[in-house]
Amino acid sequence: MLVLALESSCDETAAALVEGPVVRGEVVRSQTDLHMAYGGVVPEIASRAHLEAADSLVVETLKRAGVGLGDVDALAVTQGPGLVGSLLVALNFAKGLSMSLGLPLTGVNHVQAHALAPFLRRAGDPERRVPEYPLVALVASGGHTSLFLVRSPLDFVVLGRTVDDAAGEAFDKSAKLMGLGYPGGAAVERLARDGDKKAFKFPRPLAREGFDFSFSGLKTSVQTAYQKGNMDDEPEGSRRLADLAASFQAAVVDVLVAKLARAAKVHGVRSAVLAGGVAANGELRRRLVEALAPADVFAGLSEPRWCQDNAAMIGYLGGFQLEARHNILDLSAEARHRWPVGE
Ligand code: KG4
Ligand code: ZN
């Protein structure tokens, strides 16, 4: 089944054509440069940019896959969670395609789709090792940090979630405090390479308790350390700033790795998936593989391109939904700003 998928929940407009886990063609257009000056996503600017990009992205995706609209079997779209004005762009575009082409359309949960990204591969790539069900999955992005027990693509049980900031939000806010701009995850990672992660003693919030997360206290600790650190005194300040980035990153990594590894152990699964934008972090990926190896648990990591927002993951989960006739949308379907997985 050839599924055309669309995504516009935040600040990436994306389209993809997938057949099961095989990505036949895709395009992701990031709006980062439009929002950078504001230090965060501006909803009005985001929806406008989605609207301007949507049609050309679909045309380009079909071209890359070497197929026409007539070859598409079904449609999938991100229905939530996200910014409503942004979600509505892809949702309405998909409704229009569904009506004009007479194709079924399914509404996909963005967070749930992130968790399945490690199964994706490009057309022509050799088959890669993929996680096995049941598995545990941690989705850590700018808007979400949630831990799941996943029995099948359509059977997710929530084990825990953040009680305040998301992990990516902690990276972004700390980066902003350190003057590294927005979005800050990748910038913190780059700076941390030159730093000593033991230089600052930061808390590991809730590391040993349950499966919920909390990152807002850590951000406050970073702020205090930054203010006391005289980071503008050169050359010492630059070294201390790198130490601060490394110490902060180590605290987040410790918590995420500890919880995911413990969830795998408690639930007796052989695979643990790490997904979402934060999963692009090299230090986090290395540490997870190291932590899972002794227990012989497979670390399901997607290619970095599919950690960030994309439509391939939406099409992949959408394919299962379409087969199961799950959440098939008609013209009255609404965008869902909040949409806890499983509801
Ligand atoms: O999944 P995503 O593209 O969008 C959301 O659904 O939120 O995730 C974006 C988040 C941002 O907070 C960004 O700072 C973070 O992922 N991120 C990273 C890295 N690359 C992106 N965080 C840590 N290290 C990275 N290398
Ligand atoms: Zn996302």
Same domain, 290 and 311: no
DSSP-assigned letter for residue 162: B
Residue of minimum CA distance from atom 23 in ligand 1: 185
What pLDDT, on a 0 to 100 scale, did the predictor assign at position 37?
87
Residue by residue, what is the 3-state secondary structure of 308-340? Answer: CCCCHHHHHHHHHHHHCCCCECCCCCCCCCCCC
For residue 142 and ligand 1, the question of a CB distance below 6 A is answered with yes
Classify strands 135-140 and 74-80 as parallel, antiparallel or unpaired: unpaired
Write the residue with the smallest CA distance to atom 13 of ligand 1: 185
Q: Look at residue 160 and tell me if it is in a domain.
A: yes
Looking at the structure, do residues 58 and 190 belong to the same domain, yes or no?
A: no
Please give the radius of gyration of the chain, using alpha carbons only, rounded to the nearest integer: 20
pLDDT of residue 207: 82
**Any atom of ligand 1 within 6 Å of the Cβ of 278:** yes
86, 73, 80: which is closest to 24 by C-alpha? 73
Q: Do 197 and 233 belong to one domain?
A: yes
CATH number for position 105: 3.30.420.40
pLDDT in tens, the chain (343 residues): 999 999 999 999 999 999 999 999 999 999 999 998 898 899 999 999 999 999 999 999 999 999 999 999 999 999 999 999 999 999 999 999 999 999 999 999 999 999 999 999 999 998 889 999 999 999 999 999 999 999 999 999 999 999 999 999 999 999 999 999 888 999 999 999 999 999 999 999 888 889 999 999 999 999 999 999 888 888 888 999 999 999 999 999 999 999 999 999 999 999 999 999 999 999 999 999 999 999 999 999 999 999 999 999 999 999 999 999 999 999 999 999 999 998 8
247 in any annotated domain: yes
Overall domain count for the chain? 2
CB burial class (10 A; 0-12, 13-18, 19+) of residue 42? middle
62 and 81 part of one domain:
yes
Q: How far apart are CA 167 and CA 114, in angstroms?
A: 15
* 96 and 199 part of one domain: no
* Residues at Cβ < 5 Å from ligand 2 ion: 141, 309
Q: Which atom of ligand 1 is nearest to the CA of 143?
A: 7
| Cβ-contact 118, 322 below 8 angstroms | no
72 & 173 share domain:
no
Range of the domain at 23: 2-120+306-323
**Per the domain annotation, does 127 fall within a domain?**
no
pLDDT of residue 342: 87
166 C-alpha vs ligand 1 centroid, how far in Å?
Answer: 10
DSSP H helices, 155-235, are 167-177, 185-192, 216-228
The strand order across the sheet containing 271-275 reads 155-161, 145-152, 135-140, 271-275, 298-301
Q: What does the block give as tokens for 45?
A: 């600017």
